[in-house]
Amino acid sequence: MMLKSLVHGCGLLALMAGALVQAAPRGEIVSALKDQQEVAVTIYNENLALVKDQRRVALDRGTNRLAWRDVSARIMPETALLRSLGSGDGVTLLEQNFDFDLLTPQKLLDKYVGQNVTVIKTNPATGAESSEVATVLGSNGGVVLKFADRIETGMPGRIAFKAVPDNLRDRPTLVITLHSPAAGVQPMELSYLTGGLSWRADYVAELSPKDDSLDLNGWVTLTNVSGGSYPDAKLQLVAGDINRVRREMDFAQEGRVMKAMPMAAPAMAEEGLIEYHLYTLERPTTIAEQQTKQVALLSASHIPTSKELLLQGRDYYYRSSYGDLGQKMKVGVYVEFENKGGGLGVPLPKGVIRVYKKDSQGNAQFVGEDRIDHTPRNEKVRLKLGEAFDVTADKKQTDFQKLGGSGRYNSIYESAYQVELKNAKDEAVTVKVMEPVPGDWEILSESQPHKKQASNTVVWRVTVPAGGRAMLNYRVKVRL
């Protein structure tokens, strides 16, 4: 089949629209999206997806060269597996190649170096066209053409090519050589791993007026930059951190012949998958090329929530004399809820939770965001929203002495501290003062009772009256 393509000059090559149609090499069976019966896509967190593409393919008896078009441009060809879904048990795979060298004006010109093309010129005065045969001597940084009596550089006119080279494709194509014991239409499935498909979870939460509950909606954001489209796909998402072996070579760039690998057992919807979690969209969805789309993940209402104001200390000032430790120190604002009940109680994929709260006029205002990791059911979710504006703290070391020991890590220290909490709000607040105390420690005296939260953590909960202040004083002995 002879095809022609016209290429325009002016320094950059461009194909005339509609002038070029990709042809299959002689004896090649082409399978395109029109043959597709079903496609399933399972997307993982780390830019990885499993595609299972089912098509009906007409095979000849004997050896067939099958061009499976419209695969992902970022396919990992070493993971591809073609299998018959019908009665064609005798169909055997001989070899497969991934043709990723896609058709562009420049690539077409590169392929014709050393070959003849037709240069077409138009008389600007009369509009009459004339043609002349030339040999392409070079195409790097510009075209070099050898005519019968001269050599020219640049683009003297339009260039017509007689055909498209077999190894130059207009779409990513997996070329498979296989043997079929009989002729006929076979239902076949090609499965492969690919990059360029990813997903993330995004959550929107709205706090109640009293900050004691929230409504939570989860969305899955899909991004497809794989170079392929997946119409009416069965979509599944895997949440979890999957280990992957770093490949020594990028096979897709090497374009090597690959042998098929066994396909993993099909995963079931709505279940744990080894140590991961699988989410299945109940309806088919089209994942178009170069598209970002969102689908609903979950919705939960009236989730009991607690808010906490936290003043976080440091362990370094229990070893030395420091004096003033900070003025108008920021107090962190946190909210916490349990992943259970009220529409929750399902594994939450990692993502960002953005929190809103309505103002006095009923308008939802953004009040902070935080990132969560994969969270199992019945686990707590803790979010830092920001720093309190009306609640601040002044902290100082009021006494420090070394009681014994000769080295930094064989010593006994005694120190005292004063924390003044100030509240400019019209309501009382409770501030959690958390101090990471190193070594073997003992509280010698305190103005308010403490709680030992962990081996190296002591906590006080201090109530600060509306428009007022509260004082926390304590003395501690540390053995390092």
pLDDT at 246: 55
d(Cα 116, Cα 147) in Å, to the nearest integer? 10
Q: What would the mean pLDDT of 388-410 be, rounded to a whole number?
A: 88
d(Cα 224, Cα 39) in Å, to the nearest integer? 15
pLDDT band at 259 (very low <50, low <70, confident <90, very high): very low
**Model confidence over 328-384: pLDDT tens digits?**
999 999 999 999 877 788 888 889 999 999 999 999 999 999 999 888 888 999 999
Reported pTM: 0.68
More confident residue, 22 or 181: 181
Q: Which amino acid is at 445?
A: S
pLDDT at 6: 32
pLDDT at 25: 55
With beta carbons less than 8 A apart as the criterion, state whether 358 and 209 touch: yes
Q: Which of 353, 342, 325, 42 is nearest to 198 (CA)?
A: 42
* Backbone φ, ψ for residue 78 (5° rounding): -70, -10
Burial of 407 (0-12, 13-18, 19+ CB in 10 A): exposed
Whether the pLDDT of residue 314 is over 80: the answer is yes
DSSP 262: P
Q: What would the mean pLDDT of 154-182 be, rounded to a whole number?
A: 82
d(Cα 480, Cα 466) in Å, to the nearest integer? 40
Q: What would the mean pLDDT of 236-245 be, rounded to a whole number?
A: 73
pLDDT at 379: 93
Q: What would the mean pLDDT of 33-48 be, rounded to a whole number?
A: 90
pLDDT band at 266 (very low <50, low <70, confident <90, very high): very low
d(Cα 339, Cα 379) in Å, to the nearest integer? 5
d(Cα 330, Cα 251) in Å, to the nearest integer? 52
Whether the pLDDT of residue 88 is over 90: the answer is no
d(Cα 457, Cα 435) in Å, to the nearest integer? 6
Q: Where are the alpha helices (DSSP H) in 45-133?
A: 105-111
Joined tokens for residue 288: 């178009």
Strand partners, 60: none
Joined tokens for residue 2: 């002879």
Joined tokens for residue 18: 């509609």
pLDDT band at 82 (very low <50, low <70, confident <90, very high): confident
Dihedral over Cα of 403, 407, 409, 415: its sign: positive
CA angle 106-112-113, nearest 5°?
Answer: 95
pLDDT at 101: 61
In the chain, % helix, strand, coil (3-state, to 5) comes to 5, 60, 35
Percent of the chain residues past pLDDT 90, beyond the cut: 50
* Backbone φ, ψ for residue 317 (5° rounding): -85, 10
With beta carbons less than 8 A apart as the criterion, state whether 202 and 223 touch: no
**Model confidence over 2-33: pLDDT tens digits?**
223 333 333 333 333 333 334 445 578 989 99
Joined tokens for residue 475: 């003395």
pLDDT band at 419 (very low <50, low <70, confident <90, very high): very high
pLDDT at 10: 33
Joined tokens for residue 1: 């089949």
306-335+384-479 under CATH 2.40.10.10, yes or no = no
Q: Where are the domains of the chain?
A: 306-335+384-479
Lowest mean pLDDT among 42-46, 203-207, 269-273, 417-421: 269-273
**Model confidence over 282-297: pLDDT tens digits?**
888 999 999 998 888 8
Average pLDDT, the chain: 83
CA angle 375-377-380, nearest 5°?
Answer: 60
